[in-house]
Amino acid sequence: MSLKRIFSNPLTSAGVVIVGILALVAVFAPWLSPYDPQQINLRTIMAAPSTTHILGTDPLGRDLLSRMIWGARISLSVGFVAVGISTTVGILLGALSGYYGGWIDRIIMRFVDMMYCFPTLFLILAVIALLEPSIWNIMAIIGLTSWMGVSRLVRAEFLSLREREFVLVTRAQGASDIRIILRHMIPNALAPVFVAATLGVAGAILTESALSFLGIGVQPPTPSWGNILTAGKDNLEVAWWLSIFPGLAILITVLGYNLLGEGLRDILDPRLRGATSSNTK
């Protein structure tokens, strides 16, 4: 996968640029933030956007730009950790299901079907009600309730790969199942996983924002785009900037990851590449 192929698609290029800028903002948040995101200033309560506070302030006088910059770090951290958990679980269960088949496949796939039967958001709400709503619990819960799609993708790839000649030859040479799975099959099944993981980051950020908006996600005073929106909801008529700017941040972030995911899908899927090239001819 070359950079030329990535940047040949304008939409994919836009996704790369958006994701890259967000990553830089999250990494360099301590240097980009003009104020302490938790510093309360009663003299500037809900001040409108100005040269002093570019995006205005919140009901406690805290600088909105600073809180959004630090909120980017929180939201992206939740997205990446949650997707890391879901991808790991999905690859593990999908690999076992696709490689062994039989009763192992039936048990795992029925468990996947059972997980799909529960509305994800309500399942997350039920689990959080029993646990403390900390950022680490949020990451773990989102990750452990969003692995089903990855498991099905990996299972489908393994069902195809296990009958390929290189797998049959490796098995005939006496290689163990673990070696075959880890060394030969998983690396050849990762293309759709990369796409699903990229799209999953956007979904995890949306879920975290929704939970924080409801007051059971990332807890104040830690800034996240979702709990900033909560303050905006309560003061929409007098402080429009509290809703517009974090809402745009969530929109642009999700759009960027979706564009990147769609671009990666077109690049990594040879069937789509062939269809695209035939259409251009």
Domain ranges across the chain: 26-37+55-280
Angle, alpha carbons 224-230-232 (nearest 5°): 105
Q: Tell whether the model's pLDDT for residue 54 goes beyond 90.
A: yes
Is residue 177 scored above 80 in pLDDT? Answer: yes
DSSP result, 109-170: HHHHHHHHHS-HHHHHHHHHHHS---HHHHHHHHHHTS-HHHHHHHHHHHHHHTTSHHHHHH
- Range in 24-28, 57-61, 119-123, 212-216 the model is least confident about: 119-123
pLDDT of 272 reads: 47
Over residues 143-165, mean pLDDT: 90
Q: Is the pLDDT of residue 186 over 80?
A: yes
Give pLDDT tens digits for 226-273.
888 888 887 888 888 988 999 999 999 999 999 888 888 877 765 545
Rounded mean pLDDT of the chain?
85
Q: What confidence tens digit (pLDDT) does each residue in 83-115 have? A: 999 999 999 999 999 999 889 999 999 999 988
Secondary structure tally for the chain: helices H, strands E: 14, 0
Residues 6+ apart with CB under 8 A from 50: 56
For residue 192, the model assigns a pLDDT of 86
Whole-number pLDDT of residue 108: 94
Q: What is the pLDDT of residue 271?
A: 53
- pLDDT of 164 higher than 70: yes
pLDDT tens readout for residues 206-218: 888 888 888 887 8
Q: Which fold has domain 26-37+55-280?
A: MetI-like fold (1.10.3720)
Q: What pLDDT is recorded for position 270?
A: 55
Q: How far is CA 86 from CA 81, 148, 162, 196, 221, in A?
A: 9, 8, 23, 10, 28
The pair of structure tokens assigned to 12 is: 């994919």
